[in-house]
A and B are shown apart, each in its own frame.
Chain A
Amino acid sequence: MAIRIEAPLTKEKIKDLKAGDSVLISGVVYTARDAAHKKMVEALERGEELPFDMRGQIIYYVGPCPAKPGHVIGSCGPTTSGRMDAYTPVLIEKGLAGMIGKGLRDRTVIESMIQHGAVYFGAIGGAGALIAGTVKSEEIIAYEELGPEAVRKLVVEDFPAVVIIDSQGNNLYEIGKRAYRKV
């Protein structure tokens, strides 16, 4: 049974979520991929403000397809999270509380998640059409020149995801694989 959660996330909710929990996320999430992450980290290095206050927020790693006329958004499944690893710890230090993506994360990200309290959710890679149906509004808020990689504010309703890595560092990719591995 899926747990319904609201975004942005509270400290208590982050602690409650455990690797393997199925969740339905409703509320605001922000999109960013490689190019936007690079720009955000460079902005911080220059002492500038980020496009949004990271505290409690969830970043969704996605570069959506263009919306057809009459649609909110095009297909919008997750991209591979590992490419954001180099930029992630500094955003977690700024208060980033959740990430939605797919695929493995490196040690530094997981340690930062444990230290500051953050959760990594997996969405179904390649289920872009299904996920598009959960997006209720879309607005570009920064880096428009990046096209599909611009930072967007999305309002989602019952966005399906699974807790992959919780704030204690438990990792479903390891637990799940161990349970079914026969080699």
Chain B
Amino acid sequence: MREIDYKDIVNAVENLCISANYYLNSDVVDGLKRFRDREESPIGKDVLDKLLINAELAREKDMPICQDTGMAVVFVELGQDVHIKGGSLHEAIQQGVRQGYKKGYLRNSIVKDPLRRVNTGDNTPAVIHYEVVPGDKLKIIVAPKGFGSENMSALKMLKPSDGEKGVFDFVVRTVDEAGANPCPPMVVGVGIGGTMEKAAYLAKKALLRPVGLSNPDPYYADMEKKLLKEINKLGIGPQGLGGTTTAIAVNIEVFPTHIAGLPVAVNISCHAMRHKETII
């Protein structure tokens, strides 16, 4: 049994909230550069240039890449041989988010109730996904999720007979309907299989995979490639102003499912696919 202190978790989450919002990961920056070089639309190229300048400015000046500093989505992998002392893991994460958003001058974007809509004033609560894994480590991933893109996400319970084509068409249609709203170029997370909520979870988790890294299964790697190609033929382009870069990555995650079902979820991220992780 290994002990981890409540305070160490608070500090880790605080730092992750700030760094995820200030410093765009290099895989995303490289992806944007790659697509900038082959963007056919002059205005699209200009937008991609400005997005790269923006990311650089945010890094230099220690300020958020985007004013929508998101709802904090936290993925926790808790080793089963870990004992947390000094407080609960759940409260440590919420406290870390509270401190991170305050110290980092990040925007408070959470309302306490979805219909009565009063701002909680400290960006809590975070959405936390827990997984218990073997070992004595604690891995925390913070992925601030902006809602311009979250709002354009979709889920559908397809029929098994809809097959690969059904999934393909649903993903492309969801992106096409999103248009300019989710701040393209997008990163498209796709979850296939499981149950309704599992598919949605997989789609979110798919966004965490670095841009440019394919699914290890060649069948799905091929589908990712074909989807990206098709999506970039839609013409939406950077910021929806027209162009050949509508998405910089399509990441698919899958899970076994029921004989009667084919759930598919599409979680869209903007060009600023933000996430940072640490292992304690």
For residue B165, CB closer than 8 A to chain A, the reply is no
> When the two chains form their complex, are residues A65 and B242 in contact, meaning their CB atoms are under 8 A apart?
no
For residue A133, CB closer than 8 A to chain B, the reply is yes
CB-nearest residue of chain B to A177: B235
Distance between A177 CB and nearest chain B CB, rounded to angstroms: 4
Distance between B274 CB and nearest chain A CB, rounded to angstroms: 10
For residue B240, CB closer than 8 A to chain A, the reply is yes
Distance between A132 CB and nearest chain B CB, rounded to angstroms: 7
> When the two chains form their complex, are residues B105 and A183 in contact, meaning their CB atoms are under 8 A apart?
no
For residue B88, CB closer than 8 A to chain A, the reply is no
Interface size on B, residues (CB 8 A): 48
From 222 to 280 in chain B, residues with beta carbon under 8 angstroms from any chain A beta carbon are 230, 233-237, 239-244, 270-272
Distance between A163 CB and nearest chain B CB, rounded to angstroms: 11
CB-nearest residue of chain B to A76: B67
- Report chain B residues within 8 Å CB of A133: 57
From 35 to 79 in chain A, residues with beta carbon under 8 angstroms from any chain B beta carbon are 35, 62-68, 71, 74-77, 79
- Report chain A residues within 8 Å CB of B69: 65, 75
Whole-angstrom CA separation of A168 from B107 in the bound complex: 37
Known contacts A68-B63, A80-B151: A63-B234 contact under CB 8 Å: no
> When the two chains form their complex, are residues B239 and A77 in contact, meaning their CB atoms are under 8 A apart?
no
Whole-angstrom CA separation of A121 from B58 in the bound complex: 24
> When the two chains form their complex, are residues B148 and A125 in contact, meaning their CB atoms are under 8 A apart?
yes
CB-nearest residue of chain A to B119: A147
> When the two chains form their complex, are residues B105 and A66 in contact, meaning their CB atoms are under 8 A apart?
yes
> When the two chains form their complex, are residues B67 and A74 in contact, meaning their CB atoms are under 8 A apart?
yes
For residue B181, CB closer than 8 A to chain A, the reply is yes
Interface size on A, residues (CB 8 A): 49
> When the two chains form their complex, are residues B67 and A77 in contact, meaning their CB atoms are under 8 A apart?
yes
> When the two chains form their complex, are residues A129 and B58 in contact, meaning their CB atoms are under 8 A apart?
yes
> When the two chains form their complex, are residues A176 and B243 in contact, meaning their CB atoms are under 8 A apart?
yes
For residue A182, CB closer than 8 A to chain B, the reply is yes
Q: Show the binding face of B for A, using Cβ within 8 Å.
A: 40-41, 43, 47, 50-51, 53-55, 57-58, 61, 63-69, 105-109, 117, 119, 121, 148, 151, 179-181, 183, 230, 233-237, 239-244, 270-272
19 contacts between A and B (CB under 8 A): A22-B43, A65-B105, A66-B106, A71-B63, A75-B58, A75-B69, A77-B68, A104-B240, A124-B50, A129-B54, A129-B64, A176-B242, A176-B243, A177-B234, A178-B235, A180-B40, A180-B41, A180-B235, A181-B235
Per CB-CB distance, the 6 closest pairs between chain A and chain B, nearest first, are A176-B242, A181-B235, A125-B183, A180-B235, A103-B181, A129-B58
